[in-house]
Amino acid sequence: MTEQKLNKFTRLLKKKHSDLRKWAQQTGVTSYRVYNKDIGDLPFTIDIYGKYLLIVQYEQRGVASLSAEDSQTLAEAAGKSLYFPEDRIFLKSRKKLSDREQYTKYSAENVTDYIEEFGLQFKVNLSDYIDTGLFLDHRDTRALVRESAAGKKVLNLFSYTGSFSVYAAAGGAVSTTTVDLSNVYIEWAKENMALNHFQSPSHEFFSIDVFKFIRESASENKKWDLIILDPPTFSNSRKMEKVLDIQRDHVDLINKCLSILTKNGVIIFSNNYSDFKLDPAVRERGFVNNVTDETMPEDFKGSRIHRCWTIEKRK
């Protein structure tokens, strides 16, 4: 890497950090993105997670990958620019997966921390997974859930570590139901709820295939007022009844959610598949509003990291 390119990178990083740090302090956020592939041939993201710095290099079509030495040089320069010691910097690589691959566990170091977001606490793991347990780009989507949850029964599907459930409880939901196939993530979700003092029988957790959960709930005539539906792009877990491909399956999945939605209920549907296209058939069953721009936080403005809609049942 040339000195000129490295200097360009560090100048940009310092400028963005200076601007975003003021915003983060004012809004009560301790984790945020300070670099988002801003220089075309440096396809990295850099996130601050409290006292840690997470740097992820991406494989990108048409862009040559940096050598291990250059990646390390960039990481060291980022740490110095933002005043993070070497032992608090994590450098990872997110390779481009084939259509049928999924990310696996990264390591077993168990470097965890607790970060604050809008007055709520969340456990993050910096070392063991490609993702940390909290998707920063959905910060404003979580805020939307909190604004919408008062007095409602809330269902969080594909819940991951339960951050939407925490926000729903904070917003005054009468109950939350948190559903994910992974028992590891369900236990993590329970910990996040406990961190924020939301422990009561009204907060339920299920480690189960989402499709099976919806089918059983529909057969028992269970319904929810607010459903958060944030599925992965693809999942082929052996514990699932079928392979999930969100582009192919989203109409069926949304229709199934509509069957367990109350008359005046709302689905918040999102995904991070970059080529996703919402099927027009969804609009035949529900009133659809694209809220992608409203749910894109300050540190992700201009990106297409997720797409998000609200869907209301047609009367």
Are β-strands 224-229 and 153-157 bridged in parallel, bridged antiparallel, or unpaired?
parallel
* Residue 143: HSE in the Cβ half-sphere, 13 Å Cα cutoff: 16
Distance (Å) of CA 203 to CA 107, 114, 172: 31, 21, 12
Please report, for the chain, the start and end positions of each structural domain, with discontinuous segments joined by +.
3-94, 135-313
Short-list 46, 48, 49, 30, CA closest to 57: 46
CATH of 3-94, one of 3.10.20.740, 3.10.580.10, 3.30.750.80, 1.10.730.10: 3.30.750.80
Nearest to 288 by CA among 277, 274, 296, 272: 277
**pLDDT digit string, tens, across residues 89-144:** 999 998 764 445 444 455 668 899 999 999 999 999 999 999 999 999 999 999 99
- Cross-strand pairs, 138: none
Per-residue pLDDT of 50-86, as tens digits, reads 999 999 999 877 677 788 999 999 999 999 999 999 9
Task: Give the model confidence (pLDDT) of 134-190 as tens digits.
Answer: 999 999 999 999 999 999 999 999 999 999 999 999 999 999 999 999 999 999 999
Q: How far is CA 291 from CA 41, 149, 297, 309, in A?
A: 31, 17, 12, 5
Which residue type occupies 66? L
Fold of the CATH domain 135-313: Rossmann fold (3.40.50)
Provide the pLDDT confidence category of residue 4 given band limits of 50, 70 and 90.
very high
φ, ψ of residue 116 to 5 degrees: the values are -115, 140
pTM of the complete model beyond 0.75: yes
**Token reading at 58:** 């991406």
